[in-house]
A and B are shown apart, each in its own frame.
Chain A
Amino acid sequence: MSTANVLVVMRRELASYFATPVAYVFIVIFLLMSAAFTFHLGGFFEREIADLQPFFRFHPWLYLFLVPAVGMRLWAEERKYGTIELLLTLPITASEAVIGKFVAAWLFVGLALALTFPIWITVNVLGNPDNGVILAGYVGSWLMAGGFLAISACLSAATRNQVVAFILSVVVCFGFLLSGLPIVLDLFRGWLPQALVDGVANLSFLMHFDSISRGVIDLRNIIYFTLVIAFWLVANRIVLEIRKAD
């Protein structure tokens, strides 16, 4: 694994994001929607509490649709236009390409997230929030976005059609998001032993994100998201190997 190669792939990918309107449209929509959720649904002002709970609370739902939109093109587009053949015949390993692309998309989502800083300024102007909790919220949110993104990247490698990649990703992300809730657990309850059902429940993004966004940086939650990302990137590498020839 060469970091230099990962960086080359990453830079190329980022250049592509910003060479098209995709990046700008995504950032604007992300900012508008996160503001709308925070102020209207979250009741930011009405709560009269100086924290960013109403802001972070809706991130899982925002990411559910927006992150697959960022991830869907990662491999599907390469396959559609045949550039995958160019990329994977350069002296770069497939793992370096998988990681480079993922990191580019993750940094890009991170940029969009960072651009929400006016809300952090706002809350600091209006009161005295615990900035440690807010920082934890941002870290947790970014990690969760990484989880969604790794899923989307992997599924993007399974098809050359971006719409299919998007829909598959939303469905799988939705499953991961809600795996602690009855809607998902009931699917497993009838035929899986309780221990495994609990295991599925523990996969929930929502649960792990919730505790981070409350300011509890529990190592377990960080490890959880890191493992989710690692798992889906390994899967991405495998799917790529299987599907690239079609």
Chain B
Amino acid sequence: MLKARELTRRFGPLLAVDRLSFEVEPGTVLGFLGPNGAGKSTTMKMLTGFLAPTSGTAEVLGHDIRRDSVAARRVMGYLPEGAPLYGELSVAQFLAFAAEARGFRGNERDRKVRRAVERLELGAVMGQTIETLSKGFKRRVGLAQAILHDPPVLILDEPTDGLDPNQKHEVRSLIREMSPERIIVISTHILEEVDALCTRAMIIAHGRLLADDTPRGLLERSRYHHAVSLELEELDRAASRLGELPEAREVEIRRGRLTVFPSGQGDLFRAVGKVIDEEGWHVSHVQLESGRLDEVFRNITRKEAA
């Protein structure tokens, strides 16, 4: 269990993290979502013991991060933002260092390194100097370092930032693979990632917790949730006809696309389907919207700014 209690950090006059409290259970992939400068990284830096909180504290599997930072760090794996690495070392040297710093020696060290290397498919570059590696490989070395000791808690600061789509996919699969039984906290400003990866999302802005929900729960806050979008020729006629439905609250035309928003009565999708059949419209595309995270995100974070 990871528990943050009133976690606060000031940088001079700037309140970077403002009394953040939350609890995370094992088996959770928690996404920190928020605009740049929202306090996501600062929160992670406090959890991992890099920065001391100005006030408040957190507990990682029962270890208080203020009183017993080293014990807390022992059960955590951390990928700092941008995955910093000692560029002049070879991958093998670097991972051996990380393993030794975690207290592994001799055979056990080699075994831990080998497992992490297999998991992240780094075998081919073991002898290579880190600074000569591609970005994707560097990120994998950073992740290998973080998971090397099989930590029950993983803190990953923007693990997929700057990677190409294939690399993103690989990193996400790895995180998903590791998620049962573990507490994984990732920060991101890529919204699709939350949907693809997280079982829970916290939206943070100006250091404050604005929303804490499942990705599905966040989607349900979208006005697009259960709206129906159509593409067809007779846009205006369709708009006025569908607007009369009791199941519809509002109709919107944007970029050649008609969206009908649900009023909450009855099944809008079925009602729209019926109208299409009756009128015999030539519809090229129909979609039941699940909701738009970007819209929810903007609403929540903007409301805060206003």
Interface residues, chain A, CB within 8 Å of chain B? Answer: 4-5, 8-9, 11-12, 15-16, 19-20, 81-83, 85-86, 88-93, 244-245
Contact = CB atoms under 8 A, between A and B. Distances in A.
B268 to A, nearest CB: 50
Interface residues of B, number: 31
Contact of B84 (A11, A15, A83, A245): A83
Q: Which of B70, B78, B101 has the most CB of A within 10 A?
A: B101
Given A86-B85, A89-B76, 20 more contacts: A8-B97, A11-B100, A12-B97, A15-B93, A15-B97, A16-B86, A19-B88, A19-B89, A20-B88, A83-B85, A83-B86, A86-B145, A89-B49, A89-B80, A90-B98, A90-B101, A93-B70, A244-B50, A245-B45, A245-B51
B48 interface: yes
B73 A90 contact: yes
Interface string B50-82: 110000000000000000001101101010111
Contact of B103 (A12, A86, A89, A91): A91
Contacts of B71: 91
B102 interface: yes
Interface string B120-137: 000000000100000000
B97 A11 contact: yes
A86 B84 contact: yes
Contact of B80 (A5, A15, A19, A82): A82
A19 B50 CA distance: 27
Contact of A89 (B73, B81, B82, B85): B73
B102 A91 contact: yes
8 contacts: A12-B86, A19-B129, A85-B80, A85-B84, A89-B48, A89-B78, A244-B50, A245-B11
A244 B52 CA distance: 11
Nearest to B94: A12
B246 interface: no
Contacts of B145: 86
Interface of B: 11, 45, 48-51, 70-71, 73-74, 76, 78, 80-82, 84-90, 93, 97-98, 100-103, 129, 145
B84 A82 contact: yes
A8 B100 contact: yes
Contacts of B85: 83, 86
Given A8-B101, A19-B129, A82 B82 contact: yes
Contacts of A92: 70, 101
A169 B56 CA distance: 37
Contacts of B88: 16, 19-20
A48 B181 CA distance: 77
Contact of B89 (A16, A89, A90): A16
Contact of A81 (B45, B70, B87, B101): B87
A85 B45 CA distance: 8
In the complex, the 5 A-B pairs of residues with the closest C-beta atoms, listed nearest first: A82-B84, A85-B80, A19-B88, A90-B101, A89-B48
A85 B70 contact: no
A91 B74 contact: yes
A223 to B, nearest CB: 32
A88 B50 contact: yes
Contacts of B98: 90
Nearest to B101: A90
B86 A89 contact: no
A8 B145 CA distance: 15
A91 B97 contact: no
A148 to B, nearest CB: 24
Contacts of A83: 84-86
